[in-house]
Amino acid sequence: MTCEEMTIAALKAGVVCVQYREKEKTRREIFNEAMSLRRLTGEYGASFIVNDHADIALAVNADGVHLGQDDLPLPEARKIMGKKIIGISTHSLSEAVEASAGGADYIGFGPVFHTATKDAGEPKGVEMLNEIKSRVTIPVIAIGGITIGNLPFVLKAGADGVAMASAILKGDISENVKSFLELIGR
């Protein structure tokens, strides 16, 4: 199944935000695929975030960019993105507080649980998620190893949202999305 086919299945099932993360392709290929995904997310009224590349996010008119700790610094990304959304990946309380104070629109925190999607380090747990929620004023999106079984714990810890890949993409995408949405009451 192609990236576009997976995205369509997820959007049809009710996903409201798509983050495009691609580490292997050329920047031209990333741009082309991002253009296609921007069109699809626009058709479904979903938000679209490009991972790592502020210039590509701006070029395809994405809603925002998501940056890791080793990507373009937040102040420089803000110069490029203007008022568009900027999210920052965080893995500790200090990174979360810094991103919030620096003007990020949201933070992605994790990995909350063990994940096989990427080498993201040791799981941080829901206790740290709860601590971060008590110390920042911007939305916190939990990421890393989130499943239908542990989602209630993530929500109880205060996550404003969740980012998932494997839990949605393995098996029947539509049924997976519907199960998650039912659990969160959407």
Number of Cβ within a 10 Å radius of residue 133 = 18
Q: Catalytic annotation on 186?
A: no
pLDDT value at 152 more than 90: yes
pLDDT value at 186 more than 90: no
Of the residues 21, 36, 47, 179, which is catalytic? 21
Q: Catalytic annotation on 166?
A: no
pLDDT score recorded for residue 118: 58
pTM for the full model? 0.93
**Structural domains in the chain plus CATH codes:** 3-184 (3.20.20.70)
Query: What share of the chain in percent tops pLDDT 70?
Result: 98
Of the residues 27, 118, 135, 156, which is catalytic? 118
Q: Report the 3 state secondary structure along 86-100.
A: EEEEECCHHHHHHHH
Q: What is the pLDDT of residues 93-110, one digit of tens each?
A: 999 999 999 999 999 999
Of the residues 38, 78, 84, 89, which is catalytic? 89
Q: Report the 3 state secondary structure along the chain.
A: CCHHHHHHHHHHHCCCEEEECCCCCCHHHHHHHHHHHHHHHHHHCCEEEEECCHHHHHHCCCCEEEECCCCCCHHHHHHHHCCCEEEEEECCHHHHHHHHHCCCCEEEECCCCCCCCCCCCCCCHHHHHHHHHHHCCCCEEEECCCCCCCHHHHHHCCCCEEECCHHHHCCCHHHHHHHHHHHHCC
Q: Catalytic annotation on 89?
A: yes
